[in-house]
């Protein structure tokens, strides 16, 4: 009898252990197999520009470049070659950058666009007292200050310091101006040369003021065919006059001529006045360039 009770007790203990193990197994499955959350769709965020300090000025100010898009055909836009004397070309460049940031889809997929808003930051600082972006209220109205802001801190006219028919002195209106000690003697022009060498743009636009026209470029061997094409496209869309050559006075060592000498089409867009920014008409010209280079990569 005692042996029978002992067997029953053993069987009961085994049953209890079995039930306990089953419960523990079920509970651990419930703990480890939690319901999976539905996948969260990935939303592609628009990418901002690639920022790069491409050089520094005589006084150590940063020369900044911003690149939008990643297409193989590269376009370059440059403001502020003549610093604070042509401050509106700098504001135009910044407003264009604002537009690209707000409308990234405007750039065709085959293109990338770089903007150097202020190639001569020392000249801008001389007129505005600001580094980087500035407001209209910051701009001096003193004509002497404005004229001084055309040059870099070495008192060199940067658009006479490039390697196209360079001479130690050149002309601005009726004045003789310094063109530097040699082509690319200035850190600002050297920065642009290095940027062009690295990025190899298919076309370059320089913003100046105040001739109300779009000029082609050439150095020793005439105007490139593509230069005439982009001059006409920009001028026709924007409403500026198209001018194959600048003949108001002799110019040597200009950036556009240097680019022509190395086979890169470039144009000069002269705003109508020294005070107006003219974003809308320039956007029409820029979009015409985008379409031209989309069709002619």
The Cα–Cα gap between 81 and 124 comes to 10
Average pLDDT over residues 173-199: 98
234 is written with which tokens?
């920009």
Name the CATH code of domain 50-295 (choices 3.40.630.10, 3.10.129.10, 3.40.50.1860, 3.40.640.10): 3.40.630.10
Per-residue model confidence as pLDDT tens digits over 121-168: 999 999 999 999 999 999 999 999 999 999 999 999 999 999 999 999
3-class secondary structure, 53: strand
Average pLDDT over residues 181-190: 99
Mean of all residue pLDDT scores within the chain: 89
Average pLDDT over residues 244-264: 94
Average pLDDT over residues 5-23: 47
Element (H, E) at 126: helix 121-128
33 is written with which tokens?
């197999």
The Cα–Cα gap between 161 and 252 comes to 8
113 is written with which tokens?
């666009």
Enzyme catalytic residues: 270
Give pLDDT, residue 159: 98
Average pLDDT over residues 24-40: 46
Average pLDDT over residues 101-128: 98
| pLDDT(283) > 90 | yes
Average pLDDT over residues 239-259: 94
| pLDDT(87) > 90 | yes
- Comparing CA positions, the residue from 97, 91, 114, 105 lying closest to residue 203 is 114
| Cβ-contact 261, 219 below 8 angstroms | yes
Give pLDDT, residue 231: 99
The Cα–Cα gap between 33 and 54 comes to 55
Average pLDDT over residues 269-273: 98
Element (H, E) at 67: strand 62-68
251 is written with which tokens?
């110019």
- Comparing CA positions, the residue from 101, 95, 43, 103 lying closest to residue 67 is 101
φ, ψ of residue 60 in degrees (nearest 5): 85, 15
pLDDT band at 47 (very low <50, low <70, confident <90, very high): low
128 is written with which tokens?
């505005």
| pLDDT(45) > 50 | no
pLDDT band at 5 (very low <50, low <70, confident <90, very high): very low
Predicted TM-score (pTM) of the model is 0.85
């Amino acid at each position: 009898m005692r042996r029978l009770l002992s067997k029953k007790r053993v069987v009961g203990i085994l049953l209890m252990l079995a039930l306990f193990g089953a419960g523990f197994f079920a509970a651990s499955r419930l703990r480890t197999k939690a319901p999976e959350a539905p996948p969260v769709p990935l939303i592609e965020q628009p990418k901002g520009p690639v920022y790069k300090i491409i050089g520094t000025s005589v006084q150590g100010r940063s020369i900044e470049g911003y690149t939008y898009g990643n297409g193989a055909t590269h376009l370059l836009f440059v403001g502020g070659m003549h610093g604070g004397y042509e401050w509106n070309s700098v504001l135009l460049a910044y407003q264009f950058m604002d537009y690209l940031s707000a409308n990234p889809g405007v750039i065709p997929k085959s293109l990338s666009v770089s903007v150097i808003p202020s190639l001569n930051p020392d000249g801008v600082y001389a007129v505005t007292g600001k580094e980087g972006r500035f407001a209209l209220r910051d701009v001096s109205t003193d004509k002497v200050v404005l004229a001084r802001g055309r040059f870099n801190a070495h008192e060199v006219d940067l658009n006479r310091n490039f390697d196209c028919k360079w001479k130690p002195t050149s002309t601005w209106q009726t004045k003789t101006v310094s063109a530097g000690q040699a082509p690319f003697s200035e850190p600002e022009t050297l920065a642009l040369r290095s940027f062009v060498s690295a990025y190899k743009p298919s076309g370059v636009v320089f913003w100046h003021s105040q001739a109300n026209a779009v000029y082609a470029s050439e150095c020793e061997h005439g105007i490139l065919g593509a230069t005439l094409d982009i001059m006409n496209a920009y001028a026709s869309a924007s409403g500026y006059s198209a001018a194959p050559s600048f003949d108001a006075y002799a110019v040597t060592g200009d950036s556009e001529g240097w680019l022509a000498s190395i086979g890169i089409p470039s144009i000069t867009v002269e705003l109508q006045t020294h005070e107006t920014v003219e974003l809308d008409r320039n956007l029409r010209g820029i979009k015409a360039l985008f379409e031209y280079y989309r069709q002619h990569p």
